[in-house]
Structure 1
Amino acid sequence: MNYELIYDIAQDSQAPKLAFLFGAALAVATGLWVLYLRIRALPLHAGVKFLGALTGIIFLLGGGYDAEQRYLAGNKSARQVEGPITGYWTRLETRSGEQETYEWEGFIVGGVPFVYARNVEQNAFHNAGENSVVLADGMQARIRYVPLVRDGRPDNQILVFELARP
């Protein structure tokens, strides 16, 4: 059976790149603000210092996402499952007084459950952006994943996702 690669964490995860890009944008904004204050001989006030600290935190998060991506991609406990998608479902969930909406999607392949939030950027397959595909029961899939348990529930992280093509 021929499989088409849909997602590979080693190549496709956008989380580290987005954090670094956001951090770079904040660094430029902070630098311009500091330059403006220096030209006018004004002191650096709390807003500039806060923005500088926020920039540092964003860069640290980007580094953390990058380290997590490399760790997951090379994880020795990764397993592989292959078979038809069964029990496919989606659900919208609203939190924080209807300010945040999460689009959940889940399915089972070879007895292994997979659940993820589609609209949250993360270092694992979440079926959004460039890698988005329409899933349905009966589709043949091959998945490499890391078995995790969070809050007593399986939270298997998809590292490589492939779909069979006729």
Structure 2
Amino acid sequence: MMYEKKERKISRKQQNCKAFRGKLNACRNALDSRWNKFQRNATLLKRQLTWQFNGHLGKKGISGNIKISYEEKTLSIEVKMPQDASSIAVRDTKGLSGGERSFSTLCFALALHEMTEAPFRAMDEFDVFMDAVSRKISLDTLVDFALAQGSQWIFITPHDISLVKHAERIKKQQMAAPRP
């Protein structure tokens, strides 16, 4: 009688163990599936970010690449200027002129903006160190992007904004110059 009682107890424990093992396997399978989806999404997002970054850079005849390492938690930007005789990309933005760095940073910010949603955004002195041609291209790019996104944008710049095109949804406000 004691033997049968112990045998029933062992049988119940084995059934519980078998049920837990099944649940554990289901959890492992779900985790593996989610991890694979995460890896696929991470790869797609890296490609999308680089593609959009390159699209914005292309407006000025520049090409670039963004390298993201999730393992090392790093992000690096490579930019290839059209005037460079060598085919070597600048791996550090410190190797770019101030205007080139500002434009590349703007393109990177716009690529990130395309991947996120927000009701309003603000950009402060995005055109610092840019020459007049780069500033015009940047302003046109930003305004077109803002109009396409449909969100509210605030651009703060110490430079002339008379080049910004007029449209129904664009309001320009210029403050008086500071007194010396």
Q: TM-score, normalised by structure 1?
A: 0.29
More strand by share: 1
Larger Rg: 2
More helix by share: 2
Bigger relative CO (Cα 8 Å, ≥ 6 apart)? 1
Q: TM-score, normalised by structure 2?
A: 0.27
